[in-house]
Amino acid sequence: MAPRIAVVGATGVVGRAILGILEEREFPIDELRCLASSRSAGQAQLQFRGRWYPVGLADAEAFAGCDLALFSAGASTARALAPAAVAAGCRVVDNSSAFRQDPDIPLVVPEVNGARLDAGPSIVANPNCSTIQLTVALAPLHRAFGLRRLHLATYQAASGAGRALVEALRTQSREMADGRPPVAVAYPHPLAGNVVPGGWRAEGDATEEEVKIVAETRRILGLPDLLIGCTTVRVPVAVGHAEAVWAAFERLVTPEEARAVLESAPGVQVVDDLEEDLYPTPLAAAGTDPVYVGRIRADLGEPGALSLFIVADNLRKGAALNAVQIAERLMGIPAVSLTPRARTRPFL
């Protein structure tokens, strides 16, 4: 039988993306429950496969009879409700940070460490959006050459902070076009016409996002002592995270060798011809599934190291798509190819 599924946080940006991707990938569903907090429960309906579904309240009783729950409602909700879902016989894929560093709960990117799902865990943690695309691109290079040191700077889209910042960016862009100063809303500084190396909670001299990327990358790649330097930056883009990456390996690596490895890597699309102005951009990546890699070149600061530019749709592969891929493997459902296809409208 097809599974009975609950989507928790169904009215949010990522929740809506999960529903869209379940529909696109023809995920078999016997029963769908769209769940949210009391702010939305009973007040909204969501369309799925041509019919409208009422939004119910996400509480401990909502999972009775469910086989799978896809959570995208924040860490506090996940900590409160995921154990109740498991107690009801439901497997959980959680998109929050609640379980990402729990050693008993797998943190999974299917292309990288999907074998961790074969034991049928009750709860699976979905990684941070920036970590997912980073590890999809780096894992095949690590397997081939042995990653030993990593530096990166992120260029993260407004949608990574939720719909409110996307709307603020649109409003600020109109304000600037009208000759008015943009007003900071939903973020410490205006985002339009700006780049902001902050906006996440501080953890010492680092941001919470930087700490997450370092810890999660080490865990997913199985490299607990990997040297990583990271700076996270929010940029005036609606959808699509980008990363400038410098990577050093156990042996000298040429760009040609790296490009050959990446061209055969699952989930990766190489876009790399500088003379023809071909390289990944967030605008081109929005609404698509692959992790795009370009600007593959020798790092002039260290012989044998590489510089890369990595881009992906942060709402799709960076969140909802990765969660659905995990669900497919958990439930024994054949996966859909991630080869490039027609763009879809970004889930905003």
- What's the token pair of residue 191? 């985002």
d(CA 114, CA 338): 15
- What's the token pair of residue 55? 């939004």
- Is the CB of residue 152 less than 8 Å from the CB of residue 130? no
In the residue annotation, 129 being an active-site residue is answered as yes
Single-letter amino acid, residue 306: L
Which one of the listed residues 34, 142, 151, 241 is annotated catalytic?
A: 241
Which one of the listed residues 129, 142, 151, 230 is annotated catalytic?
A: 129
| Residue 201: CB atoms within 10 Å | 9
The residues annotated as belonging to the active site are 129, 241
